[in-house]
Amino acid sequence: MLFNSPEFLIFFPLVVTFFFLTPHRYQWAFLLLASGYFYMSFVPWYILVLIILILLDYSLGRALEKQIGSRRRLLLLTSIIGNLGILFVFKYFNFFNENISVLADFVGWNYSIESLKLILPIGLSFHVFQSLSYVIEVYRGKYPAEKHIGIYALYVLFFPQLVAGPIERPQQLLPQLHQGKSFDYERVMDGLTTMLWGFFKKLVIADQLAVMVDQVFGNVYQAPPAAIVLAVFMFAYQLYCDFSGYSDIAIGSAKVLGFDLMQNFNRPYAAKTISDFWRRWHISLSNWLRDYLYFPLAVSWRSYGKIGSHLALFITFVLIGLWHGAAWTFIGLGAIHGIYLVFADVTKSMREKISKKTGLSSLPRVRAFVQIIITFILVSISWIFFRAQNLPDVWHIVINLGPGIMSLFHVEYVLHSVVTREVLGTTFSFFLLRILAIIFMEIVEYVSRNADSMRSMLLCLPFSARVSAYYVIIIWIFLLGYFDTKSFIYFQF
């Protein structure tokens, strides 16, 4: 059951209605049943994997509070091995098995272990990280073990963020699950407005851009260089609007029910540096890996100085790439961001000198604009690893970026030979409408950047402007939305 499916448009109002009609003391049970049904609507047996994770980490969390010393470390290690072991079997075993087989053939070893015929449960990487977050926080003494197994199960299964985050910490979500919720008109309207904005980003921008991106990346060796360049930058916005659109719908639906989920995006393409980008993109994952992987590695290797911190940073980002998928392209994605960040740190003083010599340091707005453009280009290039099918495709795309950029200056050629239904899968007029939708989105998110919510920003506008904004979004969704129920990209993780 996808958020953008007709089934969800029936499921969600029913859940909201019966949730608020349910006595407070039983609301958790109703939400747990609804969340279980939501997850089983994909593939019913997936729920068994989550039940194993729930029982494992609930039991270990309770045991951690009763043990001291080395036994506590053993319990933590058991949780890490159990969670990552399940993730490895479903997501990574075949990848490593196939690569070991290739290596064995190359050196003449006898290796013949069969690949597993398993389907990756939807959102398993998110579930594992959220479960590990709970156990680690209990181990560190930052949160008490949850005694109510039903509440803990709901912490893992809560349907708004069940399949693609945000990855919540126990301090943020578990106390809310203990509270009874009453209907609150303001919260409901805030939530519905956030959901509407998420649907706009998903249906009007992401799914429409996907038509063009798929056309080019599916025929990358036949596509002209100019089309490749356009597809690379369009995919940057497809990915952002798809994932942040999901997050908005998740955050909004939780808010309608009375729950607050963490912000997962903060205008990432307005970032001035790559490190700034990762403070704005998939914030829950970035924070998770910073707190539970990078900081421990950097502290343990601090005696090695800059080399230790750079190595910790690079390893963290390679694992970010691997978290996204079991493929060399995703490892490349993480590696290139690790290289970006290490390079930025090594060249920081040199870049400051260049900024002063060129006069950019005395022109802060111009400097900020240049930084944003450079960062966006670097991030867009890195997304090639995310979207391409394999490394040869990545190489073909990269070597065509230069010729493609030069081709874009030939406007007549682009209009008549590139932005066509045969090459990009669309006409120029529809291409222009998608660009306008992106500009509209950027303006709205810029204006609302300091507001508590999308609705609070709209409430500051005059009544006529507020109504017009709602009408524009709704009409755009119905007239230009893509209603073929395309899955969210991050569901595969």
Task: Give me the active site residues, please.
Answer: 324
Q: Give 220's DSSP letter.
A: T
- The token duo for 396 is 């073909």
- Which helix (DSSP H) or strand (DSSP E) does residue 145 occupy? none
Rounded-to-integer distance, Cα 465 and Cα 472, Å? 10
Rounded-to-integer distance, Cα 151 and Cα 156, Å? 9
Amino acid in the structure at residue 414: V
What are the strands, taking DSSP E only, across 308-377?
none
C-alpha count within 13 angstroms, C-beta hemisphere, residue 51 = 8
Which residue do the tokens 């196939």 mark? 98
Amino acid in the structure at residue 466: R
How many other CB atoms are there within 10 angstroms of residue 473's CB atom? 20
Contacts of residue 285, defined as CB under 8 A and 6 or more positions apart, other chains included, come to 129, 165, 167, 320, 323
- The token duo for 442 is 């950027």
- Which helix (DSSP H) or strand (DSSP E) does residue 101 occupy? helix 93-107
Nearest to 152 by CA among 136, 174, 120, 130: 174
Residue 422's SS3 state is: coil
